[in-house]
Amino acid sequence: MKSKIKHLGIIMDGNRRWATTRRLPSFEGYRAGYKKIEDVLRWCRDAGIKILTLYAFSTENWQRSKKEVDFLMKLFYLALTKDIKKLHKNKVCVRVIGREEGLSKKLQQAIKKAEALTKNNTAAILNLAINYGGRLELVDAFNKILKNPPKEITEDLISQNIYTADLPDPDLIIRTSGERRLSEFLTWQSAYSEFYFIKRHWPEFSKEDFDDALNDFANRQRRFGQ
């Protein structure tokens, strides 16, 4: 059965904890979590969900060890230079949201090429939030607005200048690993999003978990503040 969800957001939490419980190095958790993305893209396609936004790396994640950060940056580069070919073949439009400032020139170039390659694809949109922070997104939106100062700043004007300006807000946000907070994920866009939290770590996230989240969403009555 097709879902009514147009835009799904996922906070992919618990990669390191998954590795720790198995006495594995943290990078094995990241590797397992990365592999899970392909499954979720397929599940979204089968459910008719057109937009998927994944919280891949926050602005606060720079505080992690250099070894971990370097591994993640290599993983992002691999995704945007090699695995992008399969996404392009499947007509997935890939976008990276977040601040380019702070990312290596090599990774910035890979992002630009991946976005250019897939920009006309219409089967689905995959947003990767890399070096992303919800508060900084609003700072960037205001700075963009102030380049041509308007008479009045409105909600619509702000919405037109955030990273996901041309996309609908997320209907549902899933967070794995038992934490119950947004951690600055799509802060502006999530005002009326529904939330679904599960204890399982991201690499363990299953089709059953995915279906449970969608079924739970289907049984909710969204009021949008009314």
For residue 161, what is the DSSP state? T
| Best CA proximity match to 186, nearest among 171, 202, 205, 207 | 171
- Residues making up the annotated binding site for Mg(2+) are 13, 194
**Sequence-ordered list of residues with C-beta below 8 angstroms from that of 223, at least 6 positions apart, any chain:** none
- Residues making up the annotated binding site for substrate are 14-18, 58-60, 62, 64, 175, 181-183
- Residues making up the annotated binding site are 13-18, 58-60, 62, 64, 175, 181-183, 194
Sheet containing strand 194-197, strands side by side: 92-97, 124-132, 51-58, 7-11, 172-175, 194-197
d(CA 195, CA 182): 9
Beta carbons within 10 angstroms of residue 132's beta carbon: 25
φ and ψ at 15, to 5 degrees? -60, -45
Identified catalytic residue from 13, 127, 131, 171:
13
Identified catalytic residue from 39, 46, 61, 131:
61
Taking the C-alpha atoms of 110, 114, 115 and 116 in order, what is their torsion angle to the nearest 10 degrees? 100
d(CA 92, CA 53): 13
Query: Known catalytic residue: 127?
Result: no
Query: Known catalytic residue: 83?
Result: no
Beta carbons within 10 angstroms of residue 50's beta carbon: 18
For residue 80, what is the DSSP state? I
Q: Are 157 and 74 in contact (CB under 8 A)?
A: no
The residues that are catalytic are: 13, 61
